[in-house]
Amino acid sequence: MINKEQYLQAYDQQLRTDAETPSAISVTPMGPLRLVTFDGGRGFITYQNLDGVVTQEIPALVGAALEHFKGNAEITDVEWKTRGHDTAPGLHEALLANGFTPDDTESIMVGPLEALCHDAPMPDGVTLRKVTSDADVRAMSAMADEAFGDPVSPRQANALMSRLARNDGMELWVAEVAGRMVSAGRLEPVPGTDFAGIWGGATLEEFRGRGFYRALTAARARSALAMGKTLVHSDSTEFSRPILERSGLIKVSTTTPYNWKR
């Protein structure tokens, strides 16, 4: 039986590398940081750890990283991804001082993929399928925007279509009722690791609590197992965390995104 510490070690060693950002347009190292540029004018800052960076150096490191993205006029927003188990005194204050705003904290969930395949009955009247066409991806993205209470935007759909064109293993799955998309999620197999990521779970409010997310999660897990993956990770909201815990995943830490907008 793998324990929490072993899962966290696998997460840090296997995922907090270039494997974390397979869809990056470019990655620029800056000390311990990885400054990542994505399609659609998005910047992303991550790192394996900040060991060896003293408190006095953190404000300058944050400022220099943000200046890197400010120098690219196409970048409209930047996310700095923090993890709750990192040692980084003063980082919160330095991010706020540079105009970053913390978003909701999510749970980092890790566990065996096989566990997600059990006790996942198919809800009555639901159809699960992978989507790849432009029309389906745009419909899926619009449904997810609605589920999260956001304005419908083409930005995510454009980024997903760009990913699909790369054929890097990402899969998009939807659940439908009477031809209507009601839930969706993304599978991200991580090359060179034991992991696949379960991301983007979104279910329309009136269809929650009926097993759609659970069934989609099981379908994605079976697909990942067929690829030879054995472990799953996900950043989970308080809606999905209990479902994943009941399926055998463990909360190993937390993650809080800090966002900057031009």
| Domain residue ranges in the chain | 4-107, 110-254
Tens digit of pLDDT per residue, the chain (262 long)? 578 999 999 999 999 998 889 889 999 999 999 999 998 899 999 999 999 899 999 999 999 999 999 999 999 999 999 999 999 999 999 999 999 999 999 999 999 999 999 877 888 899 999 999 999 999 999 999 999 999 998 988 998 998 899 888 999 999 999 999 999 999 999 989 999 999 988 999 999 989 998 899 999 999 999 999 999 999 998 888 988 898 889 999 999 999 999 9
DSSP-derived pairing of the beta strands 231-236 and 195-203: parallel
Q: Which pLDDT does position 243 carry in this prediction? A: 84
Which overall architecture, per CATH, does domain 110-254 show? Answer: 3-Layer(aba) Sandwich (3.40)
Q: In whole angstroms, what is the distance from residue 82 CA to residue 48 CA?
A: 10
